[in-house]
Structure 1
């Protein structure tokens, strides 16, 4: 995750950045000139993380680095300095407008509203395979599984979705909808989604 001078750690979760080969993720928790706790997060050179480089001088409460891959609770630096899994983790999804030519062409993330979960889909547009990513109502995901044998298609168009659907899947977890749609669909369980979450 990435932020500068955030007053709330959850604000850091709204942005992500990919670190280079010679960098690790880091989190600094410090006190600013107004005696307010602030957070900086992002990428830092491995040399600085190992204590061999220089850092800015300020009243630092905690500074820590990590190099673990993101998991269902989010990036590794979301759990440094004694901070537990951030509450936004389960609702942070890959979200992009329109249809995309491949699964890696959408890297934007967004926090879905409380009544929505992550969604991904594969579409046929003309003669091409296209992908969609976004948030979707949890109750519709529940209905999707309930009506699976009836060929139910979600009724709401999301994020510029178009074309003929060949896969649609919902999931919960940090950026879970970046995974393969067919794999997610196979692992969907009706008990994972509430039938009564209202929009």
Structure 2
């Protein structure tokens, strides 16, 4: 029982750091600034649900899929960093918002919920890597440990959904200009984070000094 509680606590802290709610809220608001309140709530619900499904799949099958395809964790980290960098450029220069606006009205919200909310904002390289490592640590462990990992993911998904839902009130305070500024600031920070992911992967691969 104590071991299960320790596992739950350690994984919850790790996933909380990876899915840091306030920074994810900032990116959520930045990428949904052109939506009204009802649309933003729908995107919050769908986005967190899609992200949960993606992370569950990688929790259960991630290591198996990577090994079957001959993909190393470091290669996955580098590719994830490149995708995040591209996404950060769309946040800074506004290409993402223009693409979302041109989508069909009914399908537009689903598109935004899948990209960029579900991935790469919530189910990004960091979160996916964390879930793959959790499942790898649980390999050969009792079923209870796998259930603990999934329960941690459920809890964090609910927390993110509630924070995204309440974020509408913050959007009112920011206004359109503030949301646009926030989007570009978060894009710059996300670009730095994505570059750091790639550099850290090369640092581990080449046994270089820490960056």
TM-score, reference length from structure 1 = 0.28
Structure whose residues are more often helix by fraction: 2
TM-score (norm 2): 0.27
State the structure with more CA Rg.
1
